[in-house]
């Protein structure tokens, strides 16, 4: 099955700085990579996703890059704000089996005002 | 569309009791995933179901845990003879049949506490 590693586990930044979270995956058949944001006590919600036929995708202050050769993908948040503070999960969905999203362990992002 | 509905939101059980967690997927979704989230940990896959079928249960403990998704009604995750280590948040997610490799929508979760 798929294995997703995510780093760092905790990331602390000042408001206005950029934040980068990195993930690697093991199964080259994976072709869908979503990122979820989970605020304290709430459900995980999709913030951006990327498919394997695209190298980069951007949505306002959030961008995701994908390197299929190296099997890693990253989330970039620019001009961070306190409301960006949350746990962020990356995931990979592989076509070799049942399309089950496999999640990383999460990154706790803290944005200090 | 009310989204993915899970109930109860909070569940307290004594050791040895049974816990039943319910999940109603989004309207039009026929695929349901159950995940367990322990404090400070990620989302661990447990089981993937379609209507009346278990597609993949590789993440579910062999004993005490079972899941179903009947033709009518919600998906049920059942934990028999609960132990303290079962205390966690259990999330259900659903996705549409037409495009399997797409966003999974999560419910609010059920927080199980075993005392």
Query: How high is the pLDDT of residue B29?
Result: 87
**pLDDT exceeding 70 applies to what percent of chain A?**
96
Question: What is the nearest CA distance from B30 to chain A, expressed in angstroms?
Answer: 14
pLDDT of residue A101: 87
Q: Do B56 and A42 touch (CB under 8 A)?
A: no
Q: Residue B4 is encoded by which pair of tokens?
A: 């993915």
Residue that wins the pLDDT comparison between A86 and A1 = A86
* pLDDT number for residue B97: 64
What gap in Å lies between CA A109 and CA A11, rounded to an integer? 5
Which residues in chain A touch residue B109, judged by CB atoms under 8 angstroms apart?
43
Taking the CA of residue B18 and the nearest CA in chain A, the distance in Å comes to 24
Name residues 68-97 of chain A within 8 A of B (Cβ). Answer: 89, 93, 95, 97
Q: Which pLDDT does position B47 carry in this prediction?
A: 95
For residue B89, the model assigns a pLDDT of 96
As a whole number, the mean pLDDT across chain A is 92
Position B99 scores a pLDDT of 57
Q: Which of A100, A104, A106 is the closest to B33 by Cβ?
A: A100
Q: For A1-113, where are the E strands, in sequence order?
A: 4-7, 10-14, 19-25, 30-38, 45-51, 56-59, 62-67, 72-77, 86-94, 101-103, 107-112
The residue among A4, A94, A100, A102 with the most chain B CBs within 10 A of its CB, best to mutate, is: A100
pLDDT attached to residue B28: 84
What pLDDT, on the 0 to 100 scale, is given for residue B64?
97
Query: Residue A83: phi, psi to the nearest 5?
Result: -70, -5
Instruction: Collapse the DSSP code of B111 into the 3-class scheme (helix H, G, I; strand E, B; otherwise coil) and give the result.
Output: strand
Give the pLDDT confidence of A56-74 residue by residue, as tens digits. 999 999 999 999 999 999 9
Average pLDDT over residues A82-102: 84
What average pLDDT does the segment A87-100 reach? 79
| C-beta atoms of A6 and B108 within 8 A | no
φ, ψ for residue B77 (rounded to 5)? -105, 125
pLDDT at A90 over 60: yes
Q: Which residues in chain B show pLDDT less than 70? A: 1, 97-101
> For A24-54, what is each residue's pLDDT tens digit?
999 888 888 999 999 998 999 999 999 888 8
Contacting residues of A for B102, CB less than 8 Å apart: 32
* Position A95 confidence tier, pLDDT thresholds 50, 70, 90: low
φ, ψ for residue A3, nearest 5 deg: -135, 125
Res A100 pLDDT > 90: no
Is a pLDDT exceeding 60 seen at residue A96?
A: no
Per the CB < 8 A criterion, the answer to whether B79 and B48 are in contact is: no
For chain B, report the end-to-end CA distance as a whole number of angstroms. Answer: 36
Residue of chain B with shortest Cα separation from A6: B42
By C-alpha distance, the chain A residue nearest B101 is: A99
């Amino acid at each position: 099955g798929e294995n997703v590693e995510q780093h760092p586990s905790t990331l602390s930044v000042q408001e206005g700085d950029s934040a980068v979270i990195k993930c690697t995956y093991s199964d080259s058949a994976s072709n869908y990579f979503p990122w979820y944001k989970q605020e304290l006590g709430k459900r995980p919600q999709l913030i951006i996703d990327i498919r394997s036929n695209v190298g980069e995708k951007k949505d306002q202050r959030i961008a995701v890059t994908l390197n299929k050769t190296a099997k890693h993908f990253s989330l970039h948040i620019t001009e961070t704000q306190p409301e960006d503070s949350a746990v962020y999960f990356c995931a990979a969905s592989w076509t070799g089996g049942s399309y089950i999203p496999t999640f990383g362990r999460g990154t706790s992002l803290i944005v200090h005002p | 569309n009310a989204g993915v509905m899970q109930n109860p939101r909070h569940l307290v059980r004594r050791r040895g009791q049974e816990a039943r967690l319910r999940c109603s997927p989004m309207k039009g979704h026929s695929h349901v995933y159950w995940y367990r989230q322990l404090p400070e940990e990620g989302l661990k896959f447990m089981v993937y179901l379609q209507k009346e079928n278990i597609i993949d249960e590789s993440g579910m403990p062999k004993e005490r845990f079972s899941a179903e998704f009947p033709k009518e009604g919600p998906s049920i995750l059942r934990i028999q003879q609960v132990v303290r280590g079962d205390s966690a948040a259990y999330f259900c997610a659903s996705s549409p049949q037409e495009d399997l490799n797409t966003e999974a929508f999560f419910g609010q979760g059920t927080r199980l506490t075993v005392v």
